[in-house]
Structure 1
Amino acid sequence: MTVLTPQLLESFADSVRPTAQAVTLPPSVYTDAEFFAFEKDAVFGQEWLCLGRASDVANPGDFVNVDIIGERLTMVHGQDGRIRVLSPVCQHRGMLVSEGSGNCRAFKCAYHHWTYGLDGRLVGAREMGRTEGFDRSRHGLPSLPVELWQGFVFTSLRADPLPLAPRLAKLDALLANFELERCVARNSFSSPSMPWNWKVMFENFNDGYHASRLHAGVHDFCPSDRSEFLPYDDDDAAIARTNGFLHPDGGFNALQRALLPVFPGITEEERSRAAFALVPPTLCIGVAPDQAFYFLIRPVDAGHIAVDVNYLFHPDALRDRLFEEKYELSNAGVNGIVAQDVEATTGVQQGLTSRFAPRGRYSYLEEAQAQFNRWLVRRYTAHWPGADRAPVPTAASAAANKIEVAA
């Protein structure tokens, strides 16, 4: 028996209503293995996926492998200066030709020594001279689309995805003064398996409603009721909000003050707020006066994700002679917040598996979650089995219909 029923599809209309009328998505979309398998194609198989930063492969020959929804992808800096994303599946017998990260001049399959250039071309295949019609140019590693945005590297499993950058224009305006493309990245925390659904991670990252409660004390300078939400259009590729401070140069630490040098180009307004953005389905970004931060999300299964938590610092900040000491204090504060979020999101996932799990109502401070529903449901509807002609629900159409909330 399938969970992908017409009734489940119809029930999504109640989650894309205006925030004051909307309800949360059905619990099964966070917990069901069949639904996750559907998302792997309907969402992750269609959208732009962030693999990391261009600085992760800063030099010619640098490569990094990323595993996402069961696919190994290789981000590589070619000798021609281009960053590419390749499938490292040998086009002879299917062995993976690349592991981990490093620097190389070519990728060589350990099985039969087929050798590929950094651009994916097959440059060596011994003992193939007797194979009729064999043309090396037709057996290169699959090359995927690539877009660079704000220093991040995106790829897509689709051959012809819609361009990403034009649909992130509102984030360009929001982040312009932080010069993220110039920033230096540093990893804070990585885990190959955290026990919650990928959507729970996205919902928590951009949830201002919980900040004054779950993070009371360390987060008091950035109260929940100072959240403001950027407008969302159904063609947008991002969801964003700002959160005002009680004083300039706030910081997510015990002192509630920025400990590191603030970004030199930001405005007085930007020194008095943080901003949080989702670029689903793999990237979450935040900025504060003295640091930016980003999460890379890779689903493992319906109830687990791999996650990397990273910082971005302006190059000028690293010139501070006490940068490392200040960084350790700042990171300790952030890690305390992350630990509280881990406990909360773990509890949410556990609750969603219960027969008593709700389709709850939203506070006005959860506009970002309602916008995320619109992003998701548009993609669910477009790829629903047997629903090729179904209209894609929008906030306006959902508000107009009178469908009862479905469990």
Structure 2
Amino acid sequence: MPARLPAAGFIASLDSSAIDLSEAQTLPPECYTDKDFYEFEKEALYYHEWLCAGRESWVPNVGDYFTTQIVGEPIVVARGRDGQVNAMSSVCAHRAMLVAEGSGNTRMFLCPYHHWAYGLDGRLTGAPAMEKTCNFRKEDHGLTRFKVEIWQGFVFVNFDMDAAPLAPRLTAVTDAIAHYDLANAEGERPREPGVFPWNWKVMFENNNDGYHASKLHQGPLHDFVPSERAEFPDADPADAGFLRYNGTLHPDASFNATQRALLPVFPGLDETDRNRMTFANIPPTLSLVMMSDMVIYLILRPTGPETMEQDTGVLVAPGASRHPSFAHKMEMNMIAAMHIIDQDMHVDALVQVGLRSRFAPRGRYAWQEGAQIQFNRWLVKRYRETYDRLTGPAVQPALTTA
């Protein structure tokens, strides 16, 4: 439980960020800057929601593993001898040494400190010199296991072993992106995470903001996907994800100087898919930008109230990477994409500076920011439920937008 909970009035004030778009306010600046709120947010979101850790393709063989950290929790994901993907704390059950770093292939996880050994499923298999320790049973001292679910080739973990399954709450998103067949898409693992000086929600909001696209990114690398063609399908805040669509001026639009797909188009796409970009979001950790020939995925990991890491990866159609010109065409795409991303990151950094100001507002929304309301409703539902769980349902919903 966080040491200090938000004030009851503060929680009540969040409701005005989750009402109709035409009347809603942005979230309070403290949601992006305050250390105590960040601790509350860990309990509200990260300790009970499904969190994207990576791609299943990163552990194709038995014994393959990779490590990551989410809100400071060290995680190891490994392919077990039964072929199943396991996710566990990488903290040794003896003295808290990390038993795994980086990625690779192994027969077991051996703590380098005292040589406690763990199987690929986290079970303790060896504990030297523990025979004189009273009431010690190896089966009681394995690595802490997490729930695992594979969705569209992404590995999701949940620290809460009682959490409801992920897939049933992603039906609308799954149906909307089914033609991409992301489970079979190709893409190398990102090399190093980006480290950024802003709150994770600043990044998540920017990636789903239809309003800024034709302003900040005005020019030949983005004009084919105008803001006025943004669409925001309804989403239930109880669901695990939401969508944004943006119509394009021509089919198979893509981020490069030609404005058209250079790589092979995902083979299952229909005419509707090929005439828009789709933005699929599974907060708090995964955001997808989907074009006809390329999908960019962002895996977000907060490291503090005003800092975060992010894995940025690319997926392409099966077989696309084997074409002799693939590397050159991908380079063309990434030059354009990085130009746009650089613009976004400059803005994200300055937004975080602004959010620290004593004059930071609770602003109002334009209709092209519909995805922000979907996000707010997802957040506020979980903030309020967690506050009620920790204190009792004493805070009544706000009745005004003031």
**How far off is 1:389 after superposition?**
1.5
| Distance (whole Å) between structure 2 residues aligned to residue 390 and residue 253 of structure 1 | 53
**How far off is 1:187 after superposition?**
4.9
Change (3 A) 1:209 1:190: farther
**How far off is 1:321 after superposition?**
2.1
Amino acid at match of 1:208: G
| Distance (whole Å) between structure 2 residues aligned to residue 300 and residue 193 of structure 1 | 9
**Residue aligning to 1:296:** 299
Please list, as runs of the form range in 1=range in 2, the aligned pairs for 1:42-61 lying within 5 A after superposition.
42-61=44-63
Instruction: Confirm or deny: 8 A CA contact 2:253 2:260 kept in the other structure.
Output: yes
1:384 alignment partner, SS class: helix
| Distance (whole Å) between structure 1 residues aligned to residue 317 and residue 122 of structure 2 | 34
**Residue 7 of structure 2 is aligned with which of 5, 26, 33?**
5
| Distance (whole Å) between structure 2 residues aligned to residue 173 and residue 308 of structure 1 | 25
In structure 1, runs of 5+ residues without a counterpart are none
Q: Deviations over 1:278-321 (max 9, x none)?
A: 10111001210101111000001111110111111111322322
| Distance (whole Å) between structure 2 residues aligned to residue 103 and residue 190 of structure 1 | 19
**Residue aligning to 1:237:** 240
| Distance (whole Å) between structure 2 residues aligned to residue 326 and residue 336 of structure 1 | 16
1:84 alignment partner, SS class: strand
Q: Deviations over 1:38-79 (max 9, x none)?
A: 111111111001000000111111111111111100000111
Change (3 A) 1:78 1:3: closer
Instruction: Confirm or deny: 8 A CA contact 1:381 1:392 kept in the other structure.
Output: no
**How far off is 1:16 after superposition?**
0.9
2:149 alignment partner, SS class: strand
**How far off is 1:269 after superposition?**
1.5
Instruction: Confirm or deny: 8 A CA contact 2:24 2:365 kept in the other structure.
Output: yes
**Residue aligning to 1:144:** 146
Asked if 1:388 corresponds to 2:396, the answer is: no
Asked if 1:194 corresponds to 2:196, the answer is: yes
**Residue aligning to 1:247:** 250
| TM-score normalized with structure 1 length | 0.94
| Distance (whole Å) between structure 2 residues aligned to residue 12 and residue 34 of structure 1 | 16
2:279 alignment partner, SS class: strand
CA RMSD, Structure 1 to Structure 2 (Å):
1.6
**Residue 266 of structure 1 is aligned with which of 266, 269, 290?**
269
Identity %: 47
In structure 2, runs of 5+ residues without a counterpart are none
| TM-score normalized with structure 2 length | 0.96
| Distance (whole Å) between structure 1 residues aligned to residue 322 and residue 55 of structure 2 | 22
**Residue 345 of structure 1 is aligned with which of 344, 348, 354?**
348
| Distance (whole Å) between structure 1 residues aligned to residue 336 and residue 191 of structure 2 | 13
| Distance (whole Å) between structure 2 residues aligned to residue 132 and residue 236 of structure 1 | 47
**Residue aligning to 1:225:** 228
| Distance (whole Å) between structure 2 residues aligned to residue 321 and residue 184 of structure 1 | 16
**Residue aligning to 1:327:** 330
1:146 alignment partner, SS class: strand
Asked if 1:70 corresponds to 2:84, the answer is: no
| Distance (whole Å) between structure 1 residues aligned to residue 52 and residue 231 of structure 2 | 26
